[in-house]
Amino acid sequence: MTPPRVGIVLAVHNGEHHLAAARAQVEALTDPDLQLLLVDDASTDSTSETLRTWARDDPRATLLRNSTRTGVAGARNRALDHVTADYVWFTDCDDEWSPDITARLSERARRTDADVVVCDAWTRRADRATRTPLGEPLQENVTEPVDAFRRLLRGELQGHLWNKLFRRELFEARGDRPAVRFPATRAHSDLAGVATLLARSQRTELLDERLYTYVLHEGSILNSRETRTRDLLDVRDHVRAQVEVLRREHPGHRDELRDDLLLFEYRFVYLALLNDAIRRDRREPAGRGPCASRDARSAITLGGLLRLSRHGRLGVAAPAAAVKFAYPLYAAAYTAYRRRKWGTVGFGAS
């Protein structure tokens, strides 16, 4: 029996208010050759009943229910054990997407024999109709295996799952490499997973079409006070491990990978973690106990700042230097910026 072309993974916890729209969008997909994995991550609202009805009505669907909550990473990992389709696409029930997204992504994958296909995306706040582009347009295509991974480190590719289609075989164990599963961080597990998958990809294609809209809700993981402050440091360690693998496999890119990793760590880990701490009003405490923001500041070194400056990364080096040597002033400036732009320091700005 020929396997389906695309397996859709939809992991849900207490998503009752979004499931009707999500089901309508899935049913509107123009690609008929689909497998649907619905994962109920121990929901306590009407999600379980809604997903059960959905799976009963749709012969393409398989319902998996967790008796205890594992988090989105664990729910996605469980779905991966049941995917039989050639490619995998992860989506969220509270977002929006084009009815052509799986057809367009899989067509490019089959035509070019790509392991990963990335499309452009939009983003908008749930209380606003206006959409803004997610990052810069995807114009120049990837030319070699290590290129896509380096673009991720430089921020030219985003670490989200929902605008990417992955060959299922990328998740499987290969030689001495274990199977790819998402780490059990509350937030940013998608970034760690994308980094590992791009590091394994031999061909990544960029599709210059905005086919997905990420909708930012006040209660989302990245917009929640429940996020573990050390998640980004854990993700950094996952990315570092992939860099070491690629430096061994692609010795001609050793220096470039080292420099791109430094940029990634300063921009997307240390500064992001410290900005997050300020937004959540978790400034660096006194004492010697574990503290993610203190660890982030300690990881910023004069040598690292000089390397960033020499490579023209002043837009990252300057705020990182302010964090290192004048953190109270940096926190005050960032607080003023948030109030001016969003009307609040924390989340839920109007």
Write down the CATH number for the domain with range 6-223: 3.90.550.10
What is the reported pLDDT for 174?
83
What's the rounded Cα separation, in Å, for the pair 73 and 183?
7
Tokens 């061909």 correspond to 203
Tokens 């940029």 correspond to 263
- Walking along the chain (350 residues) 10 residues at a time, the average pLDDT comes out as 93 97 98 96 98 98 97 97 98 98 97 96 92 86 87 95 98 90 89 96 94 84 53 94 96 97 97 89 51 88 97 96 94 90 61
Per DSSP bridges, beta strands 132-133 and 116-125 are antiparallel
Q: Delimit the domains of the chain by residue range.
A: 6-223, 251-342
- pTM of this prediction? 0.91
Say which residues have a Cβ less than 8 Å from residue 38's Cβ, sequence separation at least 6.
Answer: 10, 12, 51, 54, 55, 61, 62, 63, 64
Six-digit token string for 244: 């070491």
Tokens 């009752």 correspond to 16
**Cβ(307)–Cβ(260) below 8 Å:** no
